[in-house]
A = this chain, B = another copy of it.
Amino acid sequence: MALGHAIMTALLEDDLSGYELARDFETSLGFFWQASHQQIYQELRKLSDKHWLSKREVSQRGKPNKIVYGMTRAGREALAEWVFGSTRTQAAKDDLLVKLYNLDSSNAGHLAGEITARREDMMRRLYLYEKIRRRHYSLPETLPTRRKGVYLALTMGIAQGEQFLAWCDEALELLATVTAESG
């Protein structure tokens, strides 16, 4: 049940509503664990049924009411326990790579286009990552402990992203020779 744990992780330091969680996920934990708002709302209900989260309704000026969730003691304990459990190596699933197994002269152009699009996505993401690093993680040695962990996750994202850009360039080069041959 890792989505639940990801949500609790996001709630470690701030109480948030489902909407806020869904929005924040897009620019932080969601880099490493994506989830849709439907999933988040469902999971929040489950977690509060288990009393791992508490909830309270908050009235707002100029906006609909929201339901704000916060970690309970039991939630913190469950999360800490989960961290101590063991995870198996992540199952990779990337259909772009499966598609590459189908490369032929008729689809090489299309695949090059897909790679180009992904490359651009990754550029945007790297820009975000770097912005976050500059703002909040420029001196990793001096960070409080938890933030060092977040820093490492960010570092991972950056390194993988840069590697991906380099791979895209290599792939596009090879694909160009395929399309050229096909006339």
Contacts and interface: CB of A to CB of B under 8 A. Distances in A.
Q: Which of A32, A121, A160, A181 has the most CB of B within 10 A?
A: A32
Given A34-B92, A93-B90, A99 B118 contact: no
A155 B140 contact: no
A90 to B, nearest CB: 5
Contact of A153 (B9, B29, B97, B117): B97
A34 B94 CA distance: 10
A60 interface: no
A79 B153 CA distance: 36
B102 A80 contact: yes
B171 A98 contact: no
A167 B178 contact: no
Contacts of A170: 152, 155
A89 interface: yes
A95 interface: yes
A18 to B, nearest CB: 18
Given A145-B178, A159-B166, A159-B167, A107 B93 contact: no
A96 interface: yes
A91 interface: yes
Interface of A: 2, 5-6, 9, 12, 29, 31-34, 79-80, 82-84, 86-87, 89-108, 110-111, 114, 117-118, 121-122, 140-141, 145-146, 148-153, 155-156, 159-160, 163-164, 166-167, 170-171, 174-175, 177-178, 181
The list of the 7 closest CB pairs from A to B, nearest first, reads A103-B149, A32-B97, A100-B149, A34-B91, A97-B153, A163-B163, A2-B95
